[in-house]
């Protein structure tokens, strides 16, 4: 028997250490939480994308009484980008969550389904997508979606 360690690289930033463009994206993700529809979980998630052409796109979680019909913020944003800018790579995604009117303390990390969906956007673009997971003061920066989903399923 052999053991294999899978290494994931995460850089930990404070908001003030981010570039101006990345600060803007985190601010936009926070703004996106205002459009979250979360009457069941009361957990308001916002995502913002910066495309390679400079366009920024917001997404927020949209829940439904038929629970599986709801959609996470990350996929709301990415599917919007895929529908309107199918050939433009996503350079960066920022994610943040608000609960009880406050940004949650720990960085909000995408669910497994969103990781798989994000990975395919990255693979399709053929270049890494930077991921910014924002908490109240701490931002996790990952240089690629591959760092969010090691040992991923892919048929490519």
We find the least distance from the C-beta atom of residue 87 to ligand THU, in angstroms, to be: 26
Does residue 32 interact with ligand THU by CB under 6 A?
no
We find the least distance from the C-beta atom of residue 78 to ligand THU, in angstroms, to be: 11
- How would DSSP label each residue in 96-122? EEEETTEE-SSPP---HHHHHHHHHHH
Q: Which is nearer to ligand THU, 115 or 146 (CB)?
A: 115
Q: Is 74 a catalytic residue?
A: yes
Helices 112-125 and 73-84: angle between axes, nearest 10 degrees: 30
What's the Cα-to-Cα distance from 100 to each of 14, 103, 104, rounded to whole Å?
22, 8, 9
Q: How many residues of this chain interact with ligand THU, rule: CB under 6 A?
A: 14
Report the C-alpha gap between 25 and 90 in whole angstroms: 12
Binding site for ligand THU (CB under 6 A): 38, 41, 43, 45, 61, 63, 70, 72-74, 108, 110-111, 114
Catalytic residues: 74
């Amino acid at each position: 028997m052999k053991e294999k360690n899978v290494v994931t690289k995460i850089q930990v930033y404070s908001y003030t250490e981010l570039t101006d463009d990345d600060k803007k994206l985190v601010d936009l993700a926070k703004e996106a939480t205002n459009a979250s529809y979360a009457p069941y979980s009361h957990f308001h998630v916002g995502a913002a994308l910066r495309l390679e052409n400079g366009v920024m796109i917001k997404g927020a979680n949209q829940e439904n009484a038929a629970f599986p019909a709801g959609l996470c913020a990350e996929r709301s944003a990415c599917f919007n980008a895929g529908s309107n800018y199918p050939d433009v790579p996503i350079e960066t995604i920022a994610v943040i969550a608000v609960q009880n009117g406050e940004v949650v303390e720990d960085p909000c990390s995408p669910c497994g389904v969103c990781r798989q969906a994000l990975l395919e956007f990255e693979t399709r673009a053929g270049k890494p997508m930077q991921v910014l997971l924002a908490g109240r003061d701490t931002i996790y920066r990952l240089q690629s979606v591959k760092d969010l989903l090691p040992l991923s399923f892919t048929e490519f």
